[in-house]
């Protein structure tokens, strides 16, 4: 691995680790560090007076929000990805295994409808119909990702390089589920793992957009995206309340992208 690639990997790890540590360990540190604004705290206080980064538009400690606002971001992202892959992977494997081309084509055409459906339109529909719960948000984000996941798994499982191994297992009397689910699933595991890294960024962006629109989480939730939406008009009065959570979100997305880029670089993998 070249020095440039090592630098990119280190930078990617740092950019990813900082927001992840804040999201996972932050809530445990808020109490011991005293980063909880007392009831009645004035809004938009500058840094100082017991508040390291000041307070936001609702009078909450910005440092405390930075350490607690990532929990929902990570949990919703993992939940949406898990739903998409838990549903999409079996469908993709079954489509790769089926010999019924008409059924395969019909399912793919149905999924194509979802593939071209703008994610923002789906979020607006949720907002207009009053379906603003976290469950609805996770299901909507997973639904948008489903067509791409199915196509990826189907392509990986049906790759020409897999056919000799599958035919040999079939001739040796292996059961259908072991050949077309376990063996094909193992072949698709690598592409799925790489795809999950890239897709996590897409899910993060969609979840952030949903929270900007007020879909999913309550307006007073300590979530980075919600905090950004609440403090957009306070940029000049309390810049930290907007820039700190925005910086953490950008760092998480950029770090994941850097690490995935290095993983996808065949030259570096070969080196």
- The 10s digit of each residue's pLDDT in 202-254 is 888 888 778 767 677 777 788 888 888 888 888 888 899 999 999 999 999 88
The span from the CA of 202 to the CA of 221, in Å, is 22
Higher pLDDT, 15 or 128: 15
Which segment of 123-132, 138-147, 197-206 scores lowest on mean pLDDT? Answer: 123-132
The span from the CA of 211 to the CA of 137, in Å, is 9
- The 10s digit of each residue's pLDDT in 55-95 is 898 888 898 899 989 998 899 999 999 999 999 999 999 88
Helices (H) and strands (E) in the chain, counts: 12, 0
The span from the CA of 182 to the CA of 166, in Å, is 11
The span from the CA of 135 to the CA of 59, in Å, is 29
Superfamily of domain 72-221 in the CATH hierarchy: MetI-like (1.10.3720.10)
Overall average pLDDT of the 15-25 stretch:
93
Beta bridge partners of 48: 51
- List the domain boundaries for the chain: 1-69+222-271, 72-221
pLDDT for 247 equals 94
- The 10s digit of each residue's pLDDT in 140-157 is 899 999 999 999 999 888
């Amino acid at each position: 691995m070249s020095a440039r690639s090592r630098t990119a990997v280190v930078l990617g790890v740092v950019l990813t680790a900082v927001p992840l540590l804040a999201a996972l360990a932050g809530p445990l540190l808020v109490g011991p560090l005293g980063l909880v604004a007392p009831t009645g705290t004035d809004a938009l206080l500058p840094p100082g007076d017991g508040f390291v980064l000041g307070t936001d538009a609702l009078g909450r400690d910005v440092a405390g929000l930075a350490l607690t606002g990532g929990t929902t971001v990570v949990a919703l992202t993992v939940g949406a990805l898990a739903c998409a892959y838990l549903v999409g992977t079996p469908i993709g494997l079954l489509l790769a295994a089926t010999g019924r081309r008409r059924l395969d084509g019909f399912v793919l055409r149905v999924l194509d409808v979802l593939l071209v459906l703008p994610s923002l339109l789906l979020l607006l529909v949720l907002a207009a119909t009053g379906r603003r719960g976290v469950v609805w948000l996770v299901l909507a984000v997973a639904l948008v990702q489903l067509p791409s996941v199915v196509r990826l798994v189907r392509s990986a499982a049906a790759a020409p390089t897999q056919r000799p191994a599958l035919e040999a297992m079939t001739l040796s009397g292996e059961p259908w589920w072991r050949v077309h689910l376990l063996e094909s699933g193992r072949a698709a595991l690598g592409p799925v793992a790489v795809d999950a890294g890239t897709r996590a960024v897409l899910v993060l962006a969609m979840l952030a957009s949903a929270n900007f629109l007020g879909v999913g989480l309550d307006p007073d939730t300590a979530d980075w995206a919600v905090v950004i939406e609440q403090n957009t008009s306070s940029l000049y009065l309390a810049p930290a309340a907007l820039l700190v959570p925005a910086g953490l979100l950008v760092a998480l997305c950029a770090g994941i992208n850097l690490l995935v880029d290095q993983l996808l670089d065949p030259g570096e993998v070969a080196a």
